[in-house]
Amino acid sequence: MSIDRHEAALDRILELVVLLDDDMTRSLARDGLTVSRAHLLWELRHRGPMTQRDVADALKVSARTVTGLVDGLVATGFVTREPHPTDRRATLVTFTEHAATTVAAMDRDQQTFAHLLFAGMPDEQFDCFVAGLGEILTRLRDQGLSYEIREDDQ
C-alpha cells in the first residue's frame, strides 16, 4: 500500500518536529532548562521584570504553574524575586546576569541554526517554504491548536 503525497508530506513534517524537539530539548537541558522555563525567560527578555500574575497571563497558565516555574528558575539562578517598586504586596520576577548570558547565547545559537537551515536555499524556494508553513500554522490554529505549557513541564 502506497501513501499519498499529503501523507508523505505529513511524515516529513513529523520527522522534522521530532528532530527539532530532540535538538531543542537536549540544548535546553545543557543549560538546566525545560521548554517552559525557557519560554518564561524569553518573556522576561522581551518585557522586562514582571509580576508572577503577568507572567501567568503571558504564558496562559495558572498562578500555581508559574509558581513552580519561578521556583525552579530561582533555584537554578536564572531569576530572582524582587520587591515591586509601587505595590508592596507584589514581587517582580527579574533576570539574573546568568539568565541574561544564557538567553543571549540561546539567541546567538538560534541565529546560527537559522543560517545553517536556510542560508543556501534559493530565495523563491525559501519564500514558498515560509508561505506554506504559514498556511499550515493558520489551519492548525483555526482548528483550535496552540502551544500550552503543561503542569508537568516545570
The full set of domain ranges for the chain reads 1-30, 34-142
The secondary element (H helix, E strand) that includes residue 96 is none
Express each pLDDT in 24-45 by its tens digit: 999 999 999 999 999 999 999 9
State the fold for domain 34-142: Arc Repressor Mutant, subunit A (1.10.10)
pLDDT at site 152: 56
For residues 48-55, give the mean pLDDT.
Answer: 94
Per 3-state DSSP, what percentage of the chain is helix, strand, and coil (rounded to 5)?
Answer: 65, 10, 25
What is the pTM for the complete model shown?
A: 0.81
Where does residue 79 rank: exposed (0-12), middle (13-18), buried (19+ CB within 10 A)? Answer: buried
pLDDT at site 150: 62
Express each pLDDT in 108-136 by its tens digit: 999 999 999 999 999 999 999 999 999 99
